[in-house]
Amino acid sequence: MNATVERFLQYLRLERNLSWRTVDLYRRDLEQWDAFVTGGNGNLDLASVTASDIRAWLMQRSAQGDCAGTLRHKVQAIRALYRYLLRRGDVASNPAAQVDLAKLAKPLPKFVRQPAVDAVLDADIDEDDFTQVRDRLIVMLFYETGIRLSELIGLQDTAVDTASRELKVRGKRDKDRIVPFGDELVKWIEHYRTLRATLQPECSNLLVTVKGKPLYPSLVYHVVHDSLAAAGATGKLSPHVLRHTFASVMLNDGAQLNSVKELLGHESLAATQVYTHVTLSELQYNYELAHPRALKKGG
CATH topology of domain 3-98: DNA polymerase; domain 1 (1.10.150)
7 among known catalytic residues: no
165 part of the active site: no
CA end-to-end distance (rounded Å), the chain = 54
Catalytic residue (one of 82, 84, 143, 275): 275
Does 172 qualify as catalytic in the annotation? yes
The answer to whether the beta carbons of residues 142 and 249 sit under 8 Å apart is: no
Q: What is the model's pLDDT at position 298?
A: 47
Q: Catalytic residue, from 16, 28, 172, 175: name it.
A: 172
Helix or strand run (H / E) with residue 124: none
Q: Give the tens place of pLDDT for each residue, 104-153.
A: 766 666 788 888 899 999 999 999 999 999 999 999 999 999 999 999 99
Q: Is 275 a catalytic residue?
A: yes
187 is catalytic: no
At 37, the amino acid letter reads V
291 is catalytic: no
Catalytic residue, candidates 13, 55, 83, 148: 148
CATH 3.40.50.150 for domain 114-290? no
Strands 176-180 and 160-161: unpaired
The mean pLDDT values, 10 residues at a time, for the chain of 299 residues are 86 90 92 84 81 92 89 93 93 92 71 87 95 97 94 96 94 88 95 94 94 95 95 89 89 84 88 69 54 47
Query: Among 27, 134, 243, 244, which one carries the catalytic annotation?
Result: 243
Reported pTM: 0.62
Residue 202: its pLDDT value, please? 86
Three-state secondary-structure class, residue 167:
strand
Burial environment of residue 37 by CB neighbours within 10 A (0 to 12, 13 to 18, 19 or more): buried
Whether 166 contacts 180, CB under 8 Å: yes
Residue 291 confidence (pLDDT): 47
Instruction: In the chain, list all ranges with CATH 1.10.150.130.
Output: 3-98
* pLDDT digit string, tens, across residues 163-181: 999 999 998 878 899 999 9
User: Is 94 within 8 Å of 81 (Cβ atoms)?
Assistant: no
Q: Please report the pLDDT score of residue 71 as a whole number.
A: 92
Catalytic residue among 13, 55, 191, 240: 240
State the span(s) of the chain assigned CATH 1.10.443.10: 114-290
